[in-house]
Amino acid sequence: MTRMGFFTDTSICIGCKACEVACKEWNDVPDDGLNFLGTSYDNTGALGADTWRHVAFVERPRGGSAPPSSPPVNGQDAGSSPAADALDTGSAGVRWLMSSDVCKHCTHAACLDVCPTGALFRTEFDTVVVQQDVCNGCGYCVPACPFGVIDKRESDGRVWKCTLCYDRLKSDMTPACAKACPTQSIQFGPLDELRDRAAGRLGVLREAGVSEAHLYGADDNDGVGGFGAFFLLLDAPEVYGLPPDPVVTTRDLPRMWRAAAGAALALVGAVAAACARPR
């Protein structure tokens, strides 16, 4: 089937957190505490077992050009870009960067490589999903994820993350977060179409002088083979808490296993030679 995914255009994200609420409501994700972290208006902090969508609020020094009006999305006029206001809000000398983060549904997913039970699997839509009735809570996938997405829920010991609303996809429905997004910052559809749309949006921003705008995760030649959920960012990835150069953490496993097998064979040979030596 056609690979489906997300394109998150952070230049029109207003930080409303409708995606977080819709994700929790549809997927019955527990309350994550809603704690005041004391650093920004971001009350969830990061992705986790109880936060499958996380809207980051990043405070940055004011400056640069504000993005122009957003181009039509899905045939509809998205109106003026909320990012134009977001870049100019806050106290003197400060602007907001907002981005709704989610599981990247990597092309080469390390979590799949390390799962011993097959609880993690790739769906017919080329997304990565955890089967909760198969997960044994070993946690191998948690450190394997280069983005820190997968997390173990303390209440039951199993791991949880975004499923890209697999149940909705099977019913030909839009994922809850994209359905709820009022600015269409989160866009859902065939991945190839989303990449073309993102390239067009990037061109508009670059022509308007927003030189720092770039696509993150849209390149098949990156360290994980591209994302199934990629982003248009207005600053460096690390500003948003994302790794600048993600890699498949299991990329060296074949070489390591070959080296281990070679060492084991050498040890067996040495023991056999020692035993065969006349006494």
Binding-site residue ranges for [4Fe-4S] cluster: 13, 16, 19, 23, 103, 106, 111, 115, 135, 138, 141, 145, 162, 165, 177, 181
CA 274 to CA 267: how far, in whole Å? 11
Phi, psi of 190 (to 5 degrees): -60, 135
Q: Beta strand 120-122 with 128-130: parallel, antiparallel or unpaired? A: antiparallel
Q: Which residues are annotated as a binding site?
A: 13, 16, 19, 23, 103, 106, 111, 115, 135, 138, 141, 145, 162, 165, 177, 181
Q: Is 7 helix (H, G, I), strand (E, B) or coil?
A: strand
What is the distance between the alpha carbons of residues 261 and 274, in angstroms, rounded to a whole number?
A: 20
φ and ψ at residue 25, rounded to 5 degrees: -65, -45
- What is the CB neighbour count within 10 angstroms for residue 229? 25
DSSP annotation string for 107-176: SS-HHHHH-SSS-EEE-TTS-EEE-TTT-----THHHH-TT---EE-TTTS-EE----SHHHHHTT---H
- Answer whether 4's CB lies under 8 Å from 189's CB: yes
Structure tokens of 126?
């080329």
Largest CA distance in the chain: 90
